[in-house]
Amino acid sequence: MLTRQLLRYRLDGDRLLPRWLKPTPAVLQLAEDLLAFWKGGIGRMRGELDEGESAILHGSRQMLVGRGLSKVLTDACDFGDPASAEALRARALAASFARLRQPLASSDEHRAAVAAELALAPEALADGLYADLPDRAVLAAVPAWNATTLIARCNLALCQGLLLGASELRVHLRDRERGIQRRLLRALARRRLCAEVASADGGGLYLTVSGPAAVLDQRSAYGMQLALWLPALACATQWSAQVQVVPPRGVHAARMELDQSLGLPGDLALLDWVPPELAAWLEQLPAKLPGWTAVDPEPIVLPGGQVVLPDLALADGQRTVAVELFHRWHLVQLRTRLDQLRAGLLPGLIIGVDRGLSRLAEARPLLDDPLIATRGFQFSDLPSARALAEALAR
Amino acid sequence: MISLRFQDGTLLLDGLPEDGGPLAGLCVWDARVRLHRAAALHYAAILRRLHGKAEYRDEARAYAEVVLAEREPRPMRHYQRAALEAWEGAQRRGVVVLPTGAGKSYVALRAMLACRRSALVLAPTIDLVVQWATDLEARLGRPVGQYGGGEKRLDDITVATYDSGILFMPWHGNRFGLIIFDEVHHLPSGVTSQTASMCIAPFRLGLTATPERSDGQEGRLDDLVGPIVHRTRIDELEGEFLASYQAEVVEVAMDPDEAASYTAHRAQYLTFLRASGVQLSGPTGWQDFLAAAGRDPRGRAALRAWREQKRLARASRAKLRAVWELLREHGGERALIFTDDNDTAYEIGRQMVLPVMTHHTRPAERRAMLAAFRDGSWPVLVTSKVLNEGVDVPEASVGIIVSGSGSVREHVQRLGRILRPQQGKVAVLYELVSAGTAEGFTSERRRSHAAFGENDWRDEAPPAPRPPPPARPC
């Protein structure tokens, strides 16, 4: 994403208007020049490429735009690690400090004497002493983008940079396809974002996305998560969003509006991102729970439009069972869900209750509910295979 | 009954009336979970309001009482005792301002002993985290947890970087009763402040030599940590508890060709600034310069000229010769060479075959460089910014500032690096300034502090200690 200095926007009353990069001939030319320059630089060192690139940037009338394009492009480039120079450094410094006990008249003489001791030319010593700095990293690969793609990615990076100051994102997802809805909701949960979800006319969803502490104005803790979720949202084909953003050079929140017409590129890797601890748990599941595999949970729409998104779904080839987990702060939701189970609204759902929640006095009457005995289990952090197996068997 | 629970760096409060009742003003209604929610920071204030006035159950607190003992107790210096007493008198919340090298970490240790609660120390860099952990383990004779730089061990006493604190506070913000912010002037900036607001620790201690910030955000420390409760200045300790020192400004005349080049480049960019009406000193000065440069080929040339004159002033040939002369003059002493930028640091390193430590230096090599500096096998170390703060190099007696910003804090911190007392030590700080350049103004700005014989720009008397606190439920 773009850094603060590279964010281009203006304020119009309570609205924040990003200065979208348009594919004008000048901008397209600049993007093409940068792409050609970096693609032609494979095998060369970063430092010399940065220096060479500055000629393109300084030659352009839009230096800030050029820097933004360059940032997005080089962030996506692959640089190899420069070879370590630590061994040479250790030998050279040992020799240098031995000679510094009786220093020579000039640093040139000193360097020449140290180089001679190492059987190197003074220039070779100076060049090799810190040859493992990042500017010596060799460019290995450049993304296969064209100028239009680079411009679109720069606009996405602009948006993400602005979202770092966001407190809440209101989304109208018009895509009716359950698959994308499910993946977007799952991506939200995996980023520890909170969402109020309601069904919209025509099969879409309304989402109000924020972090747990957003009501307390601790927005920036979630700004990064919102920024990382945006490329997932952009995978949808029909959506619009309103964001309250405190701009980097401002004090008061302003409204930013986004939708699919901006052509922001989606990122499937971020749509299907799995946190490392969950990935490890899922990897162990088939061995610990033979016959069952984890599948994507389907959102369940209740009468009245409320949407329930289970945390997990397990399938054994014949049936699919959804699993919803209730943590210490889900007392109210657990009470509601038990009422809904009792009313027969969620036939394929079993529920896990965090032991921290079980210990609450208010939760005890709920745990005595017969539904817990037939449809529930307890867990800490993540459900154990044994508890799941027992619940599934019931 | 009102119940408190910790969730994701916040407090969830159950059993309150809609308007928040006794906790009005400290919490808000969160419709998403249909409960009241408060910042974890307000934990102590919430308990004080509820204690003895309402029935409540505290399920938020997950920190332990720990009995700590110092392996080899030593007497506190008078100003350390005064600082600790002032902090205790302010309900164990507040900021202690002591010069670098005056033993702030010992005040922190005594605060831990006094609180007897699990404690978290936050520091800005990995080097400082390692230093804190090593020191605390040695003094307390017990394992100390470490978070950051690849380590993820929590213990009753844990040390972490601010960056790691931001990441783990949503999960572990209820596990510490005392939180100590080393170099607390970092805390008010942006996301870093959330390490304080997402933690329930009722007892809070901030440590710094220089609380003032150029953006004026130091006022936020009152809410996040507490008020400044004690301040001792460098000149009050010099000679007794800090090494005696001299600070010397060395004007260095550039070689004629470089001086001419400097003058020409400076004139070129100043001419452009005047013509385009850009004021670099304004709040958006640099942005305006970049924008103007982007619109006009003369502007782009002016930008290049700005860079070149800056480079010449920072690292002229004459300056580098002066560095070498100083190293010769102080042969055998431990010297730290400071620069404003990495390029100059590496230029010196390459030219004089010296070790350079920057943020690019890998942790293992950093440790090796510091160890070699301390044991005297590599008695000179070149650095840009990473040694500005905190890292303990008591053997250093010579500081050479080749270039720096106009920040008073940076300059005082750099001086602090050579002030750790040692028998008979007289430290000397050289500041190399390119004669007849803008560096002269920068140098004047950063020296406006009592440590350099000038009035501190915002020096103030320490506030009177507060009255003893009421009974603490924490």
Closest CA to B198 of B162, B226, B228: B162
Residue A107 has pLDDT above 90, yes or no: yes
The average pLDDT across A4-24 equals: 92
Q: With 50 as the cut, is the pLDDT of residue B456 above it?
A: no
Kindly report the nearest CA distance between residue B196 and chain A, in angstroms.
11
What is the average pLDDT score of chain B?
A: 87
Residue range A355-374: mean pLDDT, rounded: 81
Q: pLDDT band at residue B82, thresholds of 50, 70 and 90? A: very high
Q: Is residue B303 part of a domain?
A: yes
Which of A11, A46, A100 is the best residue to mutate to test the B interface, defined by the most B CB atoms within 10 Å of its own CB? Answer: A100
Nearest CB to B35 within list A96, A194, A332? A332
Read off the pLDDT band of B396 (50, 70, 90): confident
Same domain, B89 and B27: no
Position B373, amino acid? F
Lowest mean pLDDT among A90-94, A182-186, B320-324: A182-186
Same domain assignment for residues B184 and B228: yes
- Comparing A2 with A210, the larger pLDDT belongs to A2
Q: Do B414 and B448 sit in the same domain of this protein?
A: yes
Chain segment A255-267, per-residue pLDDT in tens: 999 999 999 999 9
Nearest to A329 among B33, B331, B350 (CB): B33
Residues B203 and B307 in one domain: no
Q: Which residue has the higher pLDDT, A244 or B260?
A: B260
Domain endpoint, select from A271, A304, A324: A271
- Whole-number pLDDT of residue A302: 79
Banded pLDDT at A328 (limits 50, 70, 90): low
Q: B203 and B296, same structural domain?
A: no
Give the pLDDT mean for B251-256. Answer: 95
The confidence score (pLDDT) of residue B457 equals 36
Q: Both B149 and B95 in a single domain?
A: yes
- Please classify residue A356 by burial: count the beta carbons closer than 10 Å to its beta carbon, then call 0-12 exposed, 13-18 middle and 19+ buried: middle
Q: Is the pLDDT of residue B474 over 70?
A: no
The per-residue DSSP string of B142-192 comes to S--EEEETTEEE--SEEEEEHHHHHHHHHHHTTS-SEEEEETGGGTTSGGG
Q: How many of the other CB atoms lie within 10 Å of CB of B241?
A: 19
B368: domain CATH number? 3.40.50.300
Q: Do B354 and A333 touch (CB under 8 A)?
A: no
Domain identity same for A22 and A141? yes
Asked if B168 contacts B188 with a C-beta cutoff of 8 angstroms, the reply is no
Tokens of A370: 């017969």
pLDDT digits (tens, 9 = 90+) for A29-51: 999 999 999 999 999 999 999 98
The CATH number for B42's domain is 3.40.1170.30
Number of structural domains found in chain A: 4
Contacts of B300 in chain A (CB under 8 A): 58-59, 63
What is the pLDDT at residue A342? Answer: 87
Total tally of structural domains belonging to chain B: 4
Interchain contact, A331 vs B304, CB within 8 Å: no
Q: Are residues B275 and B394 in the same domain?
A: no
Which site among B35, B353, B374 would you substitute to test the A interface, given the most A Cβ atoms closer than 10 Å to its Cβ?
Answer: B353
Between chain A and chain B, the number of residue pairs with CB atoms below 8 A apart is: 137
* Helix and strand totals (H; E) in chain A: 16, 16
Residue B113 in domain: yes
- What dihedral angle (degrees, nearest 10) is formed by the CA atoms of B377, B379, B381, B387? 100
Q: Please check whether residues A285 and A389 belong to one and the same domain.
A: yes
| Residue B201 clears pLDDT 50, i.e. is over it | yes
> Hey, are the CB atoms on B353 and A96 less than 8 Å from each other?
yes
Quick one: A296 and A260 in the same domain?
no
Structure token pair of residue A68: 């933004």
Min Cα distance B249 → chain A (Å) is: 22
Q: Which residues of B touch A210 (CB under 8 A)?
A: 32
pLDDT tens figures, B315-373: 999 999 999 999 999 988 999 999 999 999 999 999 999 999 998 888 788 888 988 99
Helix (H, G, I), strand (E, B) or coil at A25: helix
Give the contacts of B222 (CB within 8 A, at least 6 positions apart). Answer: none
Give the closest residue to A184 by CA, choosing from A164, A212, A156, A205. A205
Q: Is residue B349 included in any domain, yes or no?
A: yes
Q: What is the pLDDT, as a whole number, of residue A214? A: 66
B407 contacts: CB under 8 Å, gap ≥ 6: B214, B446
- Sign for the CA dihedral angle at A222, A225, A231, A237 comes to negative
Name the most confidently modeled range: A23-27, A210-214, A222-226, A249-253: A23-27
Domain termination residue (choose one: A230, A253, A271): A271
3 state DSSP class of A309:
coil
Section A78-104 average pLDDT: 92
| CA nearest neighbour of A384 among A311, A288, A313, A294 | A288
Q: Are residues A287 and A369 in the same domain?
A: yes
Q: Does residue B359 fall inside a structural domain?
A: yes
Is residue A159 a part of any domain in this protein? no
- The answer to whether residue B451 scores a pLDDT higher than 60 is yes
Whether B352 contacts chain A with CB within 8 A: yes
Q: Is A216 on the interface with B (CB under 8 A)?
A: yes
Q: Are A62 and A99 found together in one domain?
A: no
Place of tokens 């396809």: A177
- Which of B265, B285, B314 finishes a domain? B314
Full domain range(s) for residue A243: 164-271
Domain enclosing residue B282, as ranges: 256-314
Give the chain A residue whose CA is nearest to the CA of B40: A213
A98 in contact with B, Cβ within 8 Å: no
Checking if the pLDDT of B384 tops 60, the result is yes
Q: Using the 8-state DSSP alphabet, how is residue B448 labeled?
A: -
A36 and A112 part of one domain = no
Same-domain pairing of A227 and A92: no
A299 and A246 inside one domain: no
pLDDT digits (tens, 9 = 90+) for A237-253: 999 999 988 887 777 88
For the residues of B414-441, what is the DSSP string, one character each? HHHTT-S--TT-EEEEEEEEETTSTHHH
Note whether A144 and A179 are same-domain residues.
no
Q: Are residues B324 and B404 in the same domain?
A: yes
Judge whether A389 lies within some domain. yes
CB of B12 within 8 Å of a chain A CB? The answer is yes
Looking at beta carbons, which residues of chain B come within 8 Å of A329? 5, 7, 12, 33, 35
- State whether B420 and B308 are in the same domain: no
Question: Do B362 and B394 share a domain, yes or no?
Answer: yes
Q: Which of A134-148, B35-49, B415-429, B430-444 has the lowest mean pLDDT?
A: B415-429
Q: What is the pLDDT of residue B468?
A: 41
Q: Residue B247: what pLDDT?
A: 87
B138 domain residue, yes or no: yes
Indicate if B185 and B271 belong to the same structural domain.
Answer: no
Instruction: Point out the residue among A5, A86, A97 whose CB comes nearest to the CB of B378.
Output: A97
Boundary residue ending a domain (A224, A241, A271): A271
- Is A186 part of any domain? yes
Q: Which chain A residues touch B197 with a CB distance below 8 Å?
A: 216, 218
Average pLDDT along chain A: 87
pLDDT of B458 > 60? The answer is no
pLDDT digits (tens, 9 = 90+) for B120-155: 999 998 888 888 998 999 999 999 999 876 778 889
Assess whether A90 and A66 both reside in one domain.
no
Specify the CATH number for the domain of residue A294.
3.40.1350
CA distance A168 to B323: 54
Give φ, ψ of A279 to 5 degrees.
-60, -40
- Chain B: give the shortest CA distance to residue A106, in Å: 7
Residue B179, domain member (yes or no): yes
The answer, yes or no, to whether residue B459 has pLDDT greater than 50, is: no
8 Å CB contact of A61 and B294: yes
Closest C-alpha to A147, from A24, A270, A287:
A24
Yes or no, beta carbons of A93 and B353 under 8 Å apart: yes
Are B324 and A5 within 8 A, CB to CB? no
Which of A271-275, B219-223, B271-275, B460-464 bottoms out in mean pLDDT, i.e. has the lowest? B460-464
| pLDDT recorded at residue A241 | 96
Residue A181 shares a structural domain with residue A244: yes
pLDDT digits (tens, 9 = 90+) for A70-85: 999 999 999 998 888 9
Residue A198 domain-assigned? yes
Angle of the B78-89 helix axis to the B104-115 helix axis, nearest 10 = 40
In a domain? residue B469: no
pLDDT of residue B331: 87
Query: Are residues B191 and B223 both part of a single domain?
Result: yes
In the predicted model, what is the mean pLDDT of residues B446-455?
65
In a domain, B468, yes or no: no
Considering the domain architecture, whether residues A377 and A290 belong to the same structural domain is answered as yes
**B50-65 pLDDT, tens per residue?**
988 889 999 899 998 9
